[in-house]
Structure 1
Amino acid sequence: MAAREFTLDDLRRILVEAAGADESVNLDVDILDTDFESLNYESLALLETGGRIEREYGITLEDDALSIEHTPRKLIELVNAHLKTTG
């Protein structure tokens, strides 16, 4: 069975489900290297996002992972690293 991969589309979906989308921010463009604060996602929204990622993907993220991983690219890389070790 192929390992599951966490993608930018997965992150976009979970961000919107967890915290909604700010109409002034276009999540459909290349946001990989845009920090979450610029995307208008603050700490509470990111905590909810992290919880949803953990539940959906069956992984455990470090408590401070979302405060350290400031961009979608870094968060996606972190989640995929966890998936490789658990898959």
Structure 2
Amino acid sequence: MATEAFTLDDLKAILLEAAGADEAVDLDGDILDTEFEALGYESLALLETGGRIERTYQISLDDDALTGAVTPRALIDVVNAQLSAATSA
């Protein structure tokens, strides 16, 4: 299991693996507070992304928390909270 913090670079890599990228969106820009929908990722892509995060980091993401995380910053916070809980358990 990974013990390091989940970063924006980690998220971008998983998003690209899970759903690719919209050519009109620059994922290397300042996207932390941009809604996933504006980045070209709909709910199905985010569910796949969440599944990949769970498998890679051996954590469980609450469906409500996952769907409520509408920006990369919010999703990173949710993942890091779960990682922290998993390492302190």
TM-score range for the pair, normalised by the shorter chain length: over 0.9
Tell me which residue corresponds to 1:40: 40
Provide the rounded CA distance (Å) in 1 between the counterparts of 2:54 and 2:65.
12
Gaps of 5+ in 2: none
**Count of residues in correspondence between the two structures:** 86
Shift of 1:12: 0.3
CA distance in 1, matches of 2:12, 2:51: 15
CA RMSD of aligned residues (A): 1.2
**C-alpha distance in 1, partners of 2:66/2:82?**
14
- Structure 2 CA distance for aligned equivalents of residues 67 and 61 of structure 1: 10
Aligned residue for 1:64, secondary structure, equals helix
Q: Which amino acid aligns with 2:10?
A: D
* Corresponding letter in the other structure for 1:9: D
How far 1:5 moved relative to its partner? Answer: 0.9
Moved over 4 A (4+): none
Q: Which residue of 2 aligns with 1:80?
A: 80
Gaps of 5+ in 1: none
Residue 11 of structure 2 aligns with an amino acid whose one-letter code is: L
What's the offset of the Cα at 1:30?
Answer: 1.2
Output the TM-score relative to the length of structure 2.
Answer: 0.92
